[in-house]
Structure 1
Amino acid sequence: MLALPHDPTCLNPENRKPAIGAFLLTPPDFFEHGALVSVLTTQPLGRALDYRAPEGGCHLGAFVEVPLGPRKVLGVVWGAGKGDYDLAKVRHVIRALDAPPMRDEMREFLTRAAAYTLTPMPAMLRLATRAPGLGDPPSMRKIYRRGGAEPDRMTDARRRVLETLAEYGDLSFTLKELAEMAGVTASVVKGLVTQGAVREEDSPRDTPFGRMDPDLPSKELTADQAAGAEALAAGVRGETYGTTLLRGVTGSGKTEVYLEAVAAALRAGRQSLVLLPEIALTEQFFHRVQERFGAKPAEWHSGATMTERRRIWRMVGEGQAGVVIGARSALFLPFQNLGLIVVDEEHDTSYKQEDGVLYNARDMAVLRAAICGAQVVLASATPSLETWANVEAGKYTRIDLASRFGPAVMPQMGAIDMRTEGLPANQWVSPTLQSEVTKRLERGEQAMLFINRRGYAPVTLCRACGHQIACDDCDARMVEHRFLKRLVCHQCGESKPMPEVCPSCEVEGKLAPVGPGVERLGEEAKTLWPEARIAVLSSDMYGSARALKAEIAGIAEGGADIIIGTQLVAKGHNFPKLTLVGVIDADLGLTGSDLRAAERTFQLMRQVAGRAGRAEAPGAALLQTYQPDHPVIRAILAGDEEKFWAAEAGERRQAGVPPYGRMAGIILSGSDVAAVFDLGNQLARQDGPLRKIGAQVYGPAPAPIARVRGRHRVRMLIKAEKTAPLQEAIARWIAQVRLKGDVRLAVDIDPQSFY
């Protein structure tokens, strides 16, 4: 049986053997010239290929370039070749790349992660090689920074170059990167170099990161913080695997506590990885890390330049990057000596990868740490039920921080019963909430209005014929984004101009927005408080993450009176002047059939409420609700989190669903809906391998969003006992069918969403 990634039994030697379709590690460690080697490539072949070792030989785990048909592709030496065919026809490895070989523990991690998620190994290898130019030798390159002079004549193109350099601060760019990011030709950049407005420098292609000093003074810790920090540091010093839930109320200083564990890892000469759910928006966090250790950490996320990604990949592999702050994909970097993984806001749903390779970064962090003997810290004010259950079962340890740091206290929670508010149509801020916001503005404090909907309105309706404008390529309604003057599909990203006439009945002037989004709430706020400075925070209202980050920093310094935002405002931001949070629609997440609806609503409401009162002034959070007696709303207001988790756990246990049972989703898709359903029905009829382990199969049924990007989607759901060998059974089950045409099948182990 394959152990769950977040189950410490994965440390047992008998569980170290990879399961389904495993690519086993094979000695020797070095292969002489001409020896037969098995090379795993990043190409979608589903298996490793045999080659002869290049001149000079190659190590096990070496990154190599090999011929595949007429192409040259990247691969990794995975073991010895089989040699059960005509050896004269075996081609040679072209060359071994100038990069440290992939470590045994990394190959084991990829193998076991692939077995758990039922992912082909080439796809897993692609996750571990997401950096350009891995085979390039050390060399110098030209980089470009902001110069000290101003251009003699400012054009739009020149302005874009200078704004790009200013936006990214002290980062440097290659000529191609800078030109592409600014949307100009290379000659524009060269012209600015000639005038001294841009500086051209020679720089090594890859440079080590600055040494981080763990012995610089830290902030003074409370007794609870100091005890927690010492417990985490002791685990790191022990150089063995362990997972700890660091549960602290919002504002309790969890960051300061786990940074002491990072310091312990640095003292031991080991590397640390800190995962954040919204890394591109956490400027305050990076400043704190630099202040604590005297140097900048490596920053790995989709917003990093390709040049910087290559540098990080190589320096991590050479042990020249002590601390990496990253998005979930940073788990697949080639750490040389990983001693600590921190998963901050471990409950956050963005840790689940929903496209391509389907994995949960929280669980994969525990798996990777178990393999390399590292500590894991799962930090959250509102932990996931999976983590809570592992603590209750004794698999994880737990550290609690029960109070806020310094003079700050937890906000007072209250509900506004919308049934008694007499709110006019097309208005969403109740009179009670309006009065409380006004009081804060009069005191020079900040207030936040929260609604978890992007855009202006979720539905655009024709009042003449009732038509709702839908996406042409998806089974989803288009969302009006008045700021962009367009309708946008939140499933596939397609957009089109807001029409003047109804596309169905062609009547003019009858299209009306239905329901509120953050933009519409911002419009209402301007009417209610015309003198207030209002900031609307939504990811699609800013040209880049840097611009949004700058806006958040400005708000923290008092640059707005009223903040209106989606769930991104709930993720760790600290606004010292914010004393009131008003939740516009606390009932929004309670509808539907998601088994985690109660948990996620509880987490989101508690997190967003925690933005208030984080400095000396006390805070309050008010929830507008039409269901004030709903058990989840009552639990949120009561603040008895242990009682909520115990009740939620009891319901899940009785239903036999995660974390007390196992689930897997099967997503079938294709351009021909009949062919997709045919495949689903065939699978449903041939469910013998699943029935053998006592699993139940539900479906096939149309997905809640039945068409995305022109492809019809059908879902099946598998439910099994917690101890059932689910992956092995699923592998045998789906091996019975062949995919025809453009029909695709994806397996989602431990699904987090069911759209």
Structure 2
Amino acid sequence: MRVAKIIVDVPTMQTNRPFDYGIPDALVDKVQPGMRVVVNFGQGKRLVMGMVVALTDSTDFDGELKPIQDVLDEQPVLSKELLALSKWLADDSFAFWITCLQTMLPNALKTETKQLKNGAGTQVVDKGRVQTVDYLHTLLPAARYTDLLQEVRKNAVKQIALLTRLGELAAQAEVLPVLQLEKELGIPRSIITAAAAKGWVELEQREEYRHPYAELDNMPRTTPLTLTPQQQDAFDAVSDALNSQQNDTFLLEGVTGSGKTEVYLQLMAQTLADGRDALMLVPEIGLTPQMVARVKGRFGANVAVLHSGLSDGERYDEWRRIARGEAHVVIGARSAAFAPLQNLGLLIMDEEHEASYKQDDAPRYNARDVLRWRGAYNHAPVLLGSATPSLESRARAQKNVYKLLLMPERANHRALPPSEIVDMREAEVDEHSGDLSTELISALTECLQRGEQAVLLLNRRGFSSFVMCRECGYVAKCPNCDISLTLHMDSHSLRCHYCGHEEAIPRICPSCQSKKIRYYGTGTEKVEQTLNAVLPQARVLRMDVDTTRRKGAHGRILKQFGDGQADILLGTQMIAKGLDFPNVTLVGVINADTALGLPDFRASERTFQLLTQVSGRAGRAEKPGRVLIQTYNPDHYAIQLAQHHDYERFFALEMHMRHEGNYPPYFFTFKLTVSHEEEDKAAKAVYRLADMLTAHLSDQAIILGPTRGAIARVKRRYYYQIVIKYKKEPALQATLEQMLETTQISSRSGYQIAFDREPLSFI
């Protein structure tokens, strides 16, 4: 009997390995690795989904093998490459294999297990639904429809309209969607169904893709631009690796506006010409609309898009288009790293420094590592691009692990916009302008008078940071998390940005009954209100998590701004990178210090990157740009060097700071987090893990903690963490694997343990 090795959809350590199942004779020709199947697992009639990872002719199991109950797929949903990737990902991120397999699949390919009534076991329900459209075929010659017109009653207006149209369709041998015919003639479906029953027409169901950005497929194609010498040098280096199918990793460090995207597009074109596929990642869906327009503008319907802003149906259909070889270019956010391309020839990561490429939940992977794994598997080059590369990537380029490509000038040969620092400790701020200095308001006024546009960055959404009583000092806090609630005037509520808790705005202090409740801090919503008051003539668009919740909101806001329907685009960090609007001549940073006070060794790096990236939105075309940076820390090196766009000096200085503190890229890091609803239990558990690490790791490893999380309570759970810093630690992998197995028993008692290799946040 043929045997299938199957990973079952039961995420525990006890099931984190393949189980052997017999393949019934009726399914022998159907079952293949990478297919989802239904199997009976455990005692009774418990049916679960499983993923076939291998086939064999023998088994080590002594008893009688259970047979596969059903096969859910006609073709494998995961290729040999993606199955191998899932196993590497599970080992590298200390996640369950089934969790990694599920992460790779669109939601529509994830099954649901339902409990049957009367304890009759479980049932596996496949959520994937193909969209079908009814089409109409004429069955008679055109002349016959003319004859039928003479036979119907004169007052049967809708039937007459249908027969007339059917005669036209028959004469042209045309097929139409039924819905289109209904709208065109204003007739109900029942009239068409009756015509089919009489043998006049035939109705056929056809599968039809739910196609995001379909309107871009038929837009006029853009033509490749003539590359500048620095662009040509970068192109040639990667092109050589493409030609030789060499798995090199390139770091393309190019200032904002240097033309990195055009280099990407021309390399993609070469990859397609060679008969291979290209994959491009952008850091978040806010960037996707503009980049999708540019990539589809070059390659049309050959492009598929994958990101979380799509509906489940759209994502399912794009996934199937890719897997079927109907799209050979994929663009998307982090999860697009797992796109089922069959013949990868080029992998690109734009804005490679962005933290959004790191997954926060299990499996805690970095998309950069996934691309490098796939590049090695496919003998394909990986191209990482950024104006402000992460220190880790730039350090690897310094050591020739990556190949460094430099584009230090803008493609239009214009200078980077001059930046001015506004010292908010001394700046004039009146009662109406709130957090906007007179310098920034004056610059905005001049910009509007010239008919130009401005971008304003404030890396905090909401109306106000917190609500406090001036009488007793009470601050409205979330009941589930150790964090103050943020005021949102659009919904007239206080909201927690960690767990989503929402409550009414208090008018009287719950602590002392005083009426002296005031709002403190600022947010994008409050700044929008201030702008409307101070510059009533300005048309303001706000772009943050709150205004982009609805599907397609990112694209609609950016299109409005690009079409000149607004003067000022105000937003959080999602507007800081990748956007290219020729009429933007002013960039204002309302508070450059937002990240500087965070307890994270990357705080300076993130501040420098954010300021440099947002500054690059100004003066990208013919009109000169200007940048104003408001700050309470004007002497901080990250702000000073961002003012002068000086990445090289920042890199040297920050590397010195990292070396002194024994932090990446000089050390690797690993974070262990333990949580429980009872604080003392979380604390005891984390100290036990610390003892285990101390016992097994060498003296060269630096163990920080255990400590309480920076935000100690989130969603009613208390968090403690340990950070390990190391250079070479041979026993680490085995020790962590042992911990993973040991802590599985604890999870039944309400403990949660998270393993995070190379975390990007220590908060």
Q: Same fold (TM over 0.5)?
A: yes
Hey, what's the Cα distance between the residues in 2 that align with 1:327 and 1:143? 34
Describe how 1:113-128 pairs up with structure 2 within 5 A. 113-128=89-104
The answer to whether the aligner puts 1:141 opposite 2:141 as a matched pair is no
Task: Report the 3-state secondary structure (helix = DSSP H, G, I; strand = E; otherwise coil) of the residue aligned with 2:388.
Answer: coil
Deviation for aligned residue 1:128: 2.1
Query: Does the CA contact (< 8 Å) of 1:280 and 1:301 recur in 2?
Result: no
Hey, what's the Cα distance between the residues in 2 that align with 1:368 and 1:71? 33
Partner of 1:434: 441
Moved more, 412-421 or 336-345: 412-421
* TM-superposition CA deviations, 1:714-733 (whole Å, max 9, x none): 11111212565633332234
* TM-superposition CA deviations, 1:263-312 (whole Å, max 9, x none): 12111211111111123553222221122123351111122222222222
Q: 1:239 to 1:272 in 2, by over 3 A?
A: same
Describe how 1:272-311 pairs up with structure 2 within 5 A. 272-295=278-301, 297-311=303-317
Paired amino acid for 2:495: V
Deviation for aligned residue 1:614: 0.9
Hey, what's the Cα distance between the residues in 2 that align with 1:397 and 1:472? 50
Moved more, 285-294 or 472-481: 285-294
Describe how 1:367-406 pairs up with structure 2 within 5 A. 367-406=373-412
Q: 1:498 to 1:140 in 2, by over 3 A?
A: closer
Partner of 2:717: 711
Moved more, 724-733 or 296-305: 724-733
The answer to whether the aligner puts 1:418 opposite 2:462 as a matched pair is no
Partner of 2:753: 745
Task: Report the 3-state secondary structure (helix = DSSP H, G, I; strand = E; otherwise coil) of the residue aligned with 1:699.
Answer: strand
Describe how 1:528-567 pairs up with structure 2 within 5 A. 528-567=534-573
Which among 34, 37, 58 is matched to residue 64 of structure 1? 37
- Give the number of aligned pairs: 677
Hey, what's the Cα distance between the residues in 2 that align with 1:529 and 1:252? 33
Task: Report the 3-state secondary structure (helix = DSSP H, G, I; strand = E; otherwise coil) of the residue aligned with 1:678.
Answer: helix
Query: Does the CA contact (< 8 Å) of 1:209 and 1:297 recur in 2?
Result: no
Partner of 2:511: 504
Partner of 2:499: 492
Moved more, 646-655 or 475-484: 646-655
Q: 1:638 to 1:407 in 2, by over 3 A?
A: closer
* TM-superposition CA deviations, 1:592-631 (whole Å, max 9, x none): 3211111100000000111111111111111112222222
Query: Does the CA contact (< 8 Å) of 2:212 and 2:314 recur in 1?
Result: no
Partner of 1:129: 105
Query: Does the CA contact (< 8 Å) of 1:456 and 1:517 recur in 2?
Result: yes
Moved more, 267-276 or 528-537: 528-537
Partner of 2:17: 47
Contiguous gaps of at least 5 residues in structure 2: 111-125, 136-178, 190-203
* TM-superposition CA deviations, 1:317-361 (whole Å, max 9, x none): 232220111111112232211111111111111111112321111
Partner of 2:468: 461
Deviation for aligned residue 1:42: 3.3
Hey, what's the Cα distance between the residues in 2 that align with 1:219 and 1:616? 17
Q: 1:503 to 1:311 in 2, by over 3 A?
A: same
* TM-superposition CA deviations, 1:62-120 (whole Å, max 9, x none): 44332334224131233548734333253335337311364333222211122111111
Which among 33, 37, 54 is matched to residue 78 of structure 1? 54
Deviation for aligned residue 1:511: 1.8
Hey, what's the Cα distance between the residues in 1 that align with 2:761 and 2:127? 41
Hey, what's the Cα distance between the residues in 2 that align with 1:137 and 1:630? 53
Deviation for aligned residue 1:408: 4.1
Task: Report the 3-state secondary structure (helix = DSSP H, G, I; strand = E; otherwise coil) of the residue aligned with 1:717.
Answer: strand
Q: 1:604 to 1:205 in 2, by over 3 A?
A: closer
* TM-superposition CA deviations, 1:479-531 (whole Å, max 9, x none): 11112222111111222222332233333x42211011111112222222122
Query: Does the CA contact (< 8 Å) of 1:480 and 1:487 recur in 2?
Result: yes
Query: Does the CA contact (< 8 Å) of 1:66 and 1:72 recur in 2?
Result: yes
Task: Report the 3-state secondary structure (helix = DSSP H, G, I; strand = E; otherwise coil) of the residue aligned with 1:294.
Answer: helix
Hey, what's the Cα distance between the residues in 1 that align with 2:51 and 2:398? 43
Deviation for aligned residue 1:61: 4.0
Partner of 1:107: 83
Partner of 2:524: 518
User: How many percent identity over aligned positions?
Assistant: 35
Query: Does the CA contact (< 8 Å) of 1:253 and 1:405 recur in 2?
Result: yes
CA radius of gyration, larger in? 2
Partner of 1:13: none
Deviation for aligned residue 1:571: 2.2
Paired amino acid for 2:85: F
Task: Report the 3-state secondary structure (helix = DSSP H, G, I; strand = E; otherwise coil) of the residue aligned with 1:504.
Answer: coil
Partner of 1:36: 3
Query: Does the CA contact (< 8 Å) of 1:50 and 1:81 recur in 2?
Result: no
Hey, what's the Cα distance between the residues in 2 that align with 1:594 and 1:648? 13
The answer to whether the aligner puts 1:232 opposite 2:238 as a matched pair is yes
Query: Does the CA contact (< 8 Å) of 2:304 and 2:318 recur in 1?
Result: yes
The answer to whether the aligner puts 1:593 opposite 2:590 as a matched pair is no
Q: 1:397 to 1:299 in 2, by over 3 A?
A: same
Paired amino acid for 1:420: E
Q: TM-score, normalised by structure 1?
A: 0.83
Task: Report the 3-state secondary structure (helix = DSSP H, G, I; strand = E; otherwise coil) of the residue aligned with 1:279.
Answer: coil
* TM-superposition CA deviations, 1:435-467 (whole Å, max 9, x none): 222222222222222211101111111123211
Hey, what's the Cα distance between the residues in 2 that align with 1:82 and 1:206? 43
Moved more, 386-395 or 422-431: 422-431
* TM-superposition CA deviations, 1:665-710 (whole Å, max 9, x none): 1111121212111111211222245423732322222111111111
Task: Report the 3-state secondary structure (helix = DSSP H, G, I; strand = E; otherwise coil) of the residue aligned with 2:301.
Answer: coil
Query: Does the CA contact (< 8 Å) of 1:690 and 1:730 recur in 2?
Result: no
Describe how 1:308-319 pairs up with structure 2 within 5 A. 308-319=314-325
Query: Does the CA contact (< 8 Å) of 2:256 and 2:613 recur in 1?
Result: yes
Partner of 2:653: 647
Query: Does the CA contact (< 8 Å) of 1:535 and 1:562 recur in 2?
Result: yes
Q: 1:303 to 1:194 in 2, by over 3 A?
A: farther
Hey, what's the Cα distance between the residues in 2 that align with 1:209 and 1:263? 20
Query: Does the CA contact (< 8 Å) of 1:63 and 1:77 recur in 2?
Result: no
Hey, what's the Cα distance between the residues in 1 that align with 2:477 and 2:430? 28
Paired amino acid for 2:233: A
Query: Does the CA contact (< 8 Å) of 2:418 and 2:625 recur in 1?
Result: yes
Partner of 2:170: none
Q: 1:205 to 1:61 in 2, by over 3 A?
A: same
Describe how 1:306-385 pairs up with structure 2 within 5 A. 306-385=312-391
Hey, what's the Cα distance between the residues in 1 that align with 2:352 and 2:641? 21
The answer to whether the aligner puts 1:203 opposite 2:207 as a matched pair is yes
Moved more, 714-723 or 463-472: 714-723
Q: 1:114 to 1:77 in 2, by over 3 A?
A: closer
Deviation for aligned residue 1:434: 2.0
The answer to whether the aligner puts 1:701 opposite 2:668 as a matched pair is no
Query: Does the CA contact (< 8 Å) of 2:246 and 2:381 recur in 1?
Result: yes
Contiguous gaps of at least 5 residues in structure 1: 1-33, 145-187
Describe how 1:185-264 pairs up with structure 2 within 5 A. 202-204=206-208, 217-264=223-270
Partner of 2:684: 678
Hey, what's the Cα distance between the residues in 1 that align with 2:70 and 2:99? 22
Paired amino acid for 1:203: E
Task: Report the 3-state secondary structure (helix = DSSP H, G, I; strand = E; otherwise coil) of the residue aligned with 1:674.
Answer: helix
Query: Does the CA contact (< 8 Å) of 2:38 and 2:47 recur in 1?
Result: no
What's the RMSD between the two structures over aligned residues?
3.2
